[in-house]
Structure 1
């Protein structure tokens, strides 16, 4: 973050009767909901929020008719550069951008991936996103997970989406192709945290963060099962960890020890496809939330990822051949 790259924020609002007697930080948060309360408190402490042309403290009370003026600077990230990377845009309006992320695209820069990420692509697609934390990215998908992601285009939308995620009000549904034949759907409630010895992996651990995953069976295939998976929480690698914990790892998830298990006597094409599948077979197929501006419920659904569909077709062909699934 560079202090030399800034956007000027200027707002003039008046306190009404409903906020009379409230603390300044509470009142300004209600009057300027596009900014987080912590950001507004920082501006108040820095003397960038004036009440009747005078600086005040966060705890000072305001009264009906008081004039509040914000004259602040919003830092813009210059550590992530804009790059011309193609985006598959599913939906866009003034507040939201919904994309279909391909497998292989990292969401934001990190160790080992300094650029070439979704965040770099977003800054090229919509330069104004530089004023939004992480270019509007409020949740993530693993590099090799494909599917729907929502991006906030304004600070108000960012705040709304973060609050919806924290309140578990964002609906996220995935398609997961797992190794093994799952008998029935269920609910997994098991805390997820860093693996005690393997630092690149997460695991079900007693000291982890609470995590809840719901799953149901969509299709039983030779030696495999297609699941619909819904997240109640959003921990790192949650679906991958929870399904591995149940001994039904995702096809292609080598990080969590998934090894190809072609059905006995299956067609060579299926054996090759299972052995060479290049990523975890996980696709974010449906996304639902409350629109930050209109308050209306919205939902998007995209087709299954083509590489997973191709693998499913081979498994379905195998089932039609009557192969012994053991």
Structure 2
């Protein structure tokens, strides 16, 4: 358990709700967590229990006794994790396609969370073992983990305030003439609960994309997320009628380009995951503010897909 902390409410916070004042006084903890501790009696003001909505006058003595997180029940497992960066506060992992991030029905073992708990035992005390955002099972690439409660809270706040830039590369069906932005709200599909869909009453979702390379019937794009909804890039590109190659949920029929040989057809048929990789992260270090940038190469299967499309595009140009 963390040590009990004592602080005086500054006079400039007079008139604020207690939970708002606490969030400013203890920025290392989220407001929701502080509210939970208030309700559990882990916070006292001038020696008395108070409600989150109570107004402060300034000058009161606050005692806070943080509780450790007890939500993570997964077991540590020795998994081969590709660590891109690690210090006392932050961990950046290159997640391979096929690795589930969080345990769930049918995936209780062998997840990224199980591997993280083996890599750094202290993560058991953090929400979601410190994982700040998720990647779909079949999406590869960079994923952030906060190693301390202070770092995890800061990273979660930075993500919510759009202070972390997440860049992806993808290959979609169809030939895009130019880049653009998809600004379309997303929520759970009304019938198929495993899918997300664009709906007017969904949560705001904004995806920026630009063309990197055009092929005969496909386009290699770079994507930057402004928001982070479940399946956002996949849903938005399918909404634009340019679903990602290999997407088993939103992809529709396989697109075989005119004049493609059997080798290209085999590559396209064999690519059975969405062609999507989180290739770059840009952020300020959650504790010292140092600018950080992480970038990885595309995985082998993604690169092989691009090479096959390039060979075909070159052969078609030669025919012309």
| TM-score greater than 0.5 by the shorter chain | yes
Deviates further, 189-198 or 243-252: 189-198
Give aligned pairs, total: 319
Residue equivalent to 2:67: 73
Distance change >3 Å, CA 60–CA 256, structure 1 → 2:
closer
What is the CA-CA distance between 1:227 and the residue it aligns to?
0.4
Which deviates more, 154-163 or 39-48?
39-48
Structure 2 SS opposite 1:230: strand
Q: 1:79-158 maps to which residues of 2 (within 5 A)?
A: 79-158=73-152
Other-structure match for 2:193: 199
1:77 is displaced (CA, Å) by 3.0
Q: Is 2:153 the partner of 1:180?
A: no
1:309-320 to 2 correspondences below 5 Å: 309-320=303-314
Residue 299 (str. 1) matches residue 296 (str. 2): no
Distance 1:79 1:264, change over 3 A: same
Which is further off, 231-240 or 159-168? Answer: 159-168
Distance 1:45 1:85, change over 3 A: same
Structure 2 counterpart of 1:211, from 205, 209, 217: 205
Question: Which residue number corresponds to residue 32 of structure 1?
Answer: 26
Contact 1:24 1:62 in 2 (8 A): no
Cα distance change on mapping 1:206 and 1:94 into 2, 3 Å: same
* 1:41-71 Cα distance to aligned partner (Å, 9 max, x none): 332333322345554554263644x543323
Segments of structure 2 that go 5 or more residues without pairing to the other structure are none
Aligned-residue Cα RMSD (Å) equals 2.4
CA distance in 2 between partners of 1:8 and 1:134 (Å): 19
Aligned to 1:322: 316
Residue among 244, 247, 260 paired with 1:250: 244
Q: Deviations over 1:75-132 (max 9, x none)?
A: 3235211111111111111221111110001110122222221111111111111111
| Alpha-carbon spacing, 1:76–1:321, altered in 2? closer, same or farther (3 Å) | same
**2:156 matched to which residue of 1?**
162
Q: TM-score, normalised by structure 1?
A: 0.89
Contact 1:285 1:302 in 2 (8 A): yes
CA drift at 1:280: 0.7
Q: How far apart, in 1, do the equivalents of 2:218 and 2:62 lie?
A: 62
- Aligned to 2:56, which of 43, 52, 61? 61
- Give the stretch that moved more between structures: 49-58 or 172-181: 49-58
Q: CA deviation at 1:264?
A: 2.4
Checking the alignment, whether the CA contact within 8 Å between 1:176 and 1:281 is kept in structure 2 is yes
In terms of mean alpha carbon deviation, does 147-156 or 256-265 score higher? 256-265
2:260 maps to which of 260, 266, 289? 266
Q: CA deviation at 1:162?
A: 1.7
Distance of 1:35 and 1:283 partners within structure 2:
31
Distance 1:255 1:95, change over 3 A: same
Matched, 1:229 2:229: no
How far apart in 2 are the matches of 1:322 and 1:26? 63
* TM-score normalised by L of structure 2: 0.91
Q: CA deviation at 1:150?
A: 0.6
Deviations 1:191-216 (A, max 9, x none): 21222322221122222222111111
Q: Which segment is superposed worse, 97-106 or 256-265? A: 256-265
